[in-house]
Chain A
Amino acid sequence: MKGLLLIGGKSSRMGSDKSELILRDGLTQKQRGVALLNCVCDEVFISTCEDAGEPNTIADAFGPIGPLGAIASAQKADPDSAWLILACDLPLLEKEQLEILIENRSSSHDATYFSSASDGLPEPLCAIWEATSAKAVQSAIAKSKQCPRSVLIQLNGHALPSPGLWPLANTNTEADLIEIRARLDQSTTAKNITVSYFAQLRELTGTNSESLQTDTVTPAGLFEEIRAKYQLPLKRKGMMVAVNGDFTDWSHPLSEDEEVVFIPPVAGG
Chain B
Amino acid sequence: MFQLTDQPIDPRALCDAVRDPAAGGFASFEGWVRNHHQGRDVTSLEYEAFPALAQKEGNRILEEICAQHDIIAAHCVHRTGHLQIGEIAICIAVSAAHRDAAFSACRSIIDSIKSTVPIWKKEHYTDGTAEWVKCHACSDHALHHNH
Q: In this assembly, does A9 line the interface, its C-beta being within 8 Å of a C-beta of chain B?
A: no
Out of A153, A200, A245, A266, which one reaches B117, CB within 8 Å?
A: A266
- Segment at the A interface, from B17-25, B48-56, B63-71, B93-101: B48-56
Binary per-residue interface labels of chain A (141-153) against chain B in the complex, 1 for a CB within 8 Å, 0 otherwise = 0000001011001
Check B56 against A245 for contact (C-beta < 8 Å). yes
Check A247 against B145 for contact (C-beta < 8 Å). no
Q: In this assembly, does A15 line the interface, its C-beta being within 8 Å of a C-beta of chain B?
A: no
Check B48 against A247 for contact (C-beta < 8 Å). no
**Closest 6 CB pairs between A and B?**
A268-B119, A199-B120, A200-B132, A269-B114, A265-B135, A199-B48
CB-defined contacts of B90 to chain A, threshold 8 Å: 268-269
CB-defined contacts of B119 to chain A, threshold 8 Å: 266-269
Out of B78, B110, B115, B132, which one reaches A199, CB within 8 Å?
A: B132
CB-defined contacts of A119 to chain B, threshold 8 Å: 147
In Å, the complex CA distance between A119 and B110 comes to: 35
How many residues on the A side are at the interface (Cβ–Cβ under 8 A)? 26
In Å, the complex CA distance between A264 and B131 comes to: 14
CB-defined contacts of B114 to chain A, threshold 8 Å: 266-269
Out of B57, B120, B122, B138, which one reaches A238, CB within 8 Å?
A: B138
Check B138 against A147 for contact (C-beta < 8 Å). no
Out of A147, A150, A263, which one reaches B118, CB within 8 Å?
A: A263
In Å, the complex CA distance between A67 and B57 comes to: 40
Binary per-residue interface labels of chain B (127-147) against chain A in the complex, 1 for a CB within 8 Å, 0 otherwise = 000001111011001000111
In Å, the complex CA distance between A246 and B31 comes to: 26
In Å, the complex CA distance between A267 and B54 comes to: 12
Q: In this assembly, does B82 line the interface, its C-beta being within 8 Å of a C-beta of chain A?
A: no
The answer to whether A268 and B132 touch (CB under 8 A), given A150-B146, A245-B53, is: no
* Chain A residues within CB distance 8 Å of chain B: 119, 121, 147, 149-150, 153, 196, 198-200, 202-203, 238, 240, 242, 245-247, 261, 263-269
Q: In this assembly, does B113 line the interface, its C-beta being within 8 Å of a C-beta of chain A?
A: yes
CB-defined contacts of A261 to chain B, threshold 8 Å: 50, 53, 118
CB-defined contacts of B56 to chain A, threshold 8 Å: 245-246
Binary per-residue interface labels of chain B (82-124) against chain A in the complex, 1 for a CB within 8 Å, 0 otherwise = 0000000110000000000000000000100111111111100
CB-defined contacts of A196 to chain B, threshold 8 Å: 50
Chain A nearest CB, measured from B31 CB (Å): 5
28 contacts between A and B (CB under 8 A): A150-B145, A150-B147, A198-B48, A198-B49, A198-B50, A203-B132, A238-B135, A238-B137, A242-B53, A245-B56, A261-B50, A261-B53, A263-B50, A264-B120, A265-B135, A266-B119, A267-B114, A267-B119, A267-B132, A268-B54, A268-B78, A268-B117, A268-B118, A268-B121, A269-B31, A269-B78, A269-B89, A269-B114
Check B133 against A267 for contact (C-beta < 8 Å). yes
Check A149 against B147 for contact (C-beta < 8 Å). yes
Chain A nearest CB, measured from B32 CB (Å): 11
CB-defined contacts of B125 to chain A, threshold 8 Å: none
- Please, which residue of chain A has its CB at the minimum distance from the CB of B55? A245
Q: Which of B29-68 contact A (CB under 8 A)?
A: 31, 47-50, 52-54, 56-57
Check A266 against B52 for contact (C-beta < 8 Å). no
- Please, which residue of chain A has its CB at the minimum distance from the CB of B29? A269
Chain B nearest CB, measured from A133 CB (Å): 17
In Å, the complex CA distance between A200 and B134 comes to: 10
Chain A nearest CB, measured from B51 CB (Å): 9
- Please, which residue of chain A has its CB at the minimum distance from the CB of B145? A147
In Å, the complex CA distance between A245 and B122 comes to: 23
CB-defined contacts of A200 to chain B, threshold 8 Å: 120, 122, 132
